[in-house]
Amino acid sequence: MLFKNILKRNKILSTRVFSSATAVDYDFAEKPNIAELNLANPGKLTMTNLCGSIKDAMDTAMETDDSTLLFGEDVKFGGVFRCSVGLVEKYGNDRVFNTPLCEQGIAGFAIGTTVSGSTTIAEMQFADYIFPAFDQLVGEAAKYRYRSGNEFNCGGLTIRTPCGAVGHGALYHSQSPEAYFAHAPGLVLVIPRGPIQAKGLLLSAIRSKDPVIFFEPKALYRMAEEEVPDEDYEIPLGKAEVMREGTDVTLVGYGMQLRKIILAAELAKKEGIS
């Protein structure tokens, strides 16, 4: 009887929660933190989605560092999600080019170009297919500096990969495999929550002295829109951000999860919980 009452109470609570606040009704867009981003021209902003901010970051990186390469499956044509549209026309086939459908080969080639002195942005078309490259990334890229006594390193390597579900990707286009890589010393993992964060974090990742896997929640590519600074700016890696202060409960998350967390915090606020 007690178990039935708990189920009944939770069912009522969950119905009330999901009917009183939805992601569709809530505006998740943020304003640029001028002081934190150290913007020189804070008034120059462009409304863009997460896909556009990713492209803007890669464009900025390639413009400011002529050693930067971008390659992966179909990136020359803009990529399956259109995040690299126009970059081959601007930077040429020597710097933006397609690869065979071979994730292990993409990772191995990316390690080679990085160790040879290039800044490398390599795209895995879907995070679900990153597993054939697992040994290259965990066994090679992550350990390159340590095993060579700092004579060589993969510090200029960024692996970009769309992750997560969008509702129609089924089992091979809906996974979020970041937990597998989170336990590998030597790799940095980054997952943005919106366009402003995506641009600053991706630029920091590309310029980092450590190899980075940059997971991009594909559901946010077109859904998330913000006024993004036009200029070159970076957001520090590995630094937690306090989105709002509270006194009762601590909520921690990243990427797409933060939308659920924000809604939960709004509902808690109505119940007098900070």
Task: Give me the half-sphere count of Cα atoms (radius 13 Å) on the Cβ side of residue 58.
Answer: 30
What are the CA-CA distances from residue 161 to residues 9, 53, 241 (Å)?
41, 15, 23
Asked if 260 contacts 251 with a C-beta cutoff of 8 angstroms, the reply is: no
Asked if 84 contacts 58 with a C-beta cutoff of 8 angstroms, the reply is: yes
Asked if 186 contacts 150 with a C-beta cutoff of 8 angstroms, the reply is: no
103 in active site: yes
- Pairing state of beta strands 119-123 and 157-163? parallel
Look-up of token digits 């490398």: 120
Scanning the chain, the segments in alpha helix (DSSP H) are 2-20, 34-37, 50-64, 87-91, 103-115, 134, 144-147, 178-182, 195-206, 220-223, 257-270
Instruction: Exactly one of 73, 103, 216, 234 is catalytic; name it.
Output: 103
266 in active site: no
Instruction: Exactly one of 73, 123, 173, 216 is catalytic; name it.
Output: 173
Q: Which residues pair with 162 in a beta bridge?
A: 216
Among all residues, which ones are annotated catalytic?
Answer: 103, 173
